[in-house]
Chains A and B, each alone.
Chain A
Amino acid sequence: MSRSSVDVRGGLRLEGLVKRFDGVLAVAGVDLELPPGKLISFLGPSGCGKTTMLRMIAGLERPTEGRVFLDDDDITDRPAYTRDIGMVFQSLALFPHLNVAGNVGYGLRIRGAEKDRIAARVDELLKLVSLEGMGDRRIQQLSGGQRQRVATARALALEPRLFLLDEPLSALDANLREQLQVELRLLQQQLGITTIIVTHDQREAMTMSDLVVVMNEGRIEQVGAPLEVYRRPGSPFVAGFIGRTNLLRGEAAGDGGVTVSGRPFDVAGEADRTGEVTISVRPEAAQLVVEEGVAERNVLPGTVVFVRDLGELFECFVDCGLEEHVIVAGSPRDWIPVRQGAKVSVRFPAEACVVVVP
């Protein structure tokens, strides 16, 4: 490959991006600056505008308002075929009338490259995606995973400045999906190409990305590194969407203390806040205490409602008198056996109590 990881092409900037479809707001004003050479995921539930954002970046959809800049060039008005962007579609959109080599070499042929050069480049790309020697296969003869690889090779053939993937693995079964997530990530790191992947799967986003952009209802909820978004969700939506979480509603006194169901709590950060707050505690951070009426801080009493052993994970649903059951999860090794109906206490360690809304 001619590209090395020191290449800094592919920085993307979105300014006030808005898209309306027949009066329905799909993207509601997005400002975003993405660093070159990184893998960024647009994560959100279906209908949150993430695919529309990607399509506006690719030039397949015209923004109603706002500008798109690629390496400081304003590309908002440039048609898709002049944008120098490679894209893998959700349906993969392979050309059924061409074989594998024909698909991968399509872009080069359109550019009028010589036959020998196309053949050499196609071989190189097929090797890159572990499909060596399969250039003669028809698309219909390939498995789902192989098709995905062909789509990837085709999108990378022209060494684009930006590599976009729209839910590229959604049609594959879980095992293959995880394998290809790792492969795609390694490929991206090897090429150092700026990559944006649209997904609704938070595990996929966590596995692959340098940066996660969490979207909801056409807006950006939070931008951050995967673990940062997971550990310090900026809103109840993010807390609930990225993994499961327990949301505790309480009253902050302004001195660092929060009262939840009449019990005193210490929380991480945001100590000077006053008024109503929501605290997010991940199930694996909560701890079960097989003892009734523990009078410590950060502890709520409750009744075990349901227990399940998933083999790799043990989960306990506890009714603490809140709107929803508190979920406590842990590895079977550190598990204390409890029965349904047992009176217990749940401890929410202060460092795991993240305040998510004012």
Chain B
Amino acid sequence: MSERERPSARTYGVLALPVAMLVIFFLIPFGIMVATSFYHRIEGAFYEPAFELANWQRLFQPVFLERALFSIWICMLAGLVCITVAFPFTYFLTRMRRRAHLALLIVVLSALSLSEVIVAFTWYILLGRSSGVSNIFVWLGLFSEPVAYQPSFAAVLLGLSYIAFPFCVLTLYPQLTRLDPEITEAAQTLGASPWRTFWTVVVPIARPIIIAGFLLVFVFTLGSYLIADFLGRPEHWTLSVFIANQASAQANVPFASAMAIFLTLLSLVVVAIVGVIESRTRRLA
């Protein structure tokens, strides 16, 4: 490689706008949140500027640490569920005829227009006793009386996976579309059945985006609080539910800020660990 040209003033100029946006809409608010996490909360009122570690100390109570671990656990599960369903789905989608392929893609992406509130509430009804899906099973004669599937762990997991699914498909779609069909055909002429082709060629080639899709779902669902609030019992609540609760119901913005920063750091740690594992195993392979 020859020596790279030094970026000119114009190159920096082009970057000015995105950098400004990043600073104004991300870094400054985040800075405010960091500062707020050290502020003093006034019981029954709001908060005042201060520097105290009370909010951070409170965070290290077992209940919040346990919630943090639970959040990571359920959001990773949601990531696994999404990838397990979305990867084969997207793969077969891209192998379909163009018209069917686009129609199905539009259906999936239209789910993006549903807000989290609507999704949470819809599943609340569908999984409920009075007018939920179990009534259909009763009508079919499978059950003697309707059952409630929520609140439960499975309901929360289902809801989280549901809202993240279209995003997961969107992450996988571009690269799977570009996968040369001749590559899978080559595997078949070499004696691999479609099933073995999928596992020995398609999945290994797509490994980086599978991991990207998984991480996207993980980070995305970590921030969701309505789903767990609607479909779970308190023991199924993620840290986000507590943050929302502290910020709005309890008006304890300093503690909510501390928890939010903690959650951000935690998700960064998980992303970093996954990244390291990925590059290690890739080097081994």
Contact = CB atoms under 8 A, between A and B. Distances in A.
Contacts of B180: 91, 93
B200 interface: yes
A97 B284 CA distance: 12
Interface string A76-111: 000111110111011101111100000000110011
A97 B204 contact: yes
Interface of chain B, main secondary structure: helix
Given A97-B204, A97-B207, A89 B191 contact: no
Contacts of B201: 95, 97
Nearest to A83: B189
Contact of A97 (B186, B189, B196, B205): B205
Interface range, A side: 20 to 34
Contacts of A79: 188, 193
A290 to B, nearest CB: 55
Interface range, B side: 10 to 19
Contact of B191 (A60, A81, A90, A91): A81
A80 B188 contact: yes
A93 B191 CA distance: 15
Interface string B188-206: 1111110010001100110
Nearest to A60: B185
A110 B186 contact: no
Nearest to A88: B186
Nearest to B197: A81
B189 A86 contact: yes
Contact of B185 (A89, A111, A157): A89
Given A93-B180, A93-B183, A95-B183, A81 B189 contact: yes
Contacts of B190: 81, 86, 106-107, 110, 154-155, 157-158
Contacts of B187: 95, 106, 110
Contacts of A81: 188-193
Given A97-B207, A110-B200, A80 B189 contact: yes
A14 interface: no
A44 to B, nearest CB: 20
Interface of A: 58-60, 79-83, 85-87, 89-91, 93-97, 106-107, 110-111, 154-155, 157-158
Given A60-B189, A90-B182, 13 more contacts: A58-B189, A60-B185, A79-B188, A79-B193, A83-B189, A87-B189, A89-B182, A95-B183, A97-B205, A110-B191, A110-B192, A154-B186, A157-B190
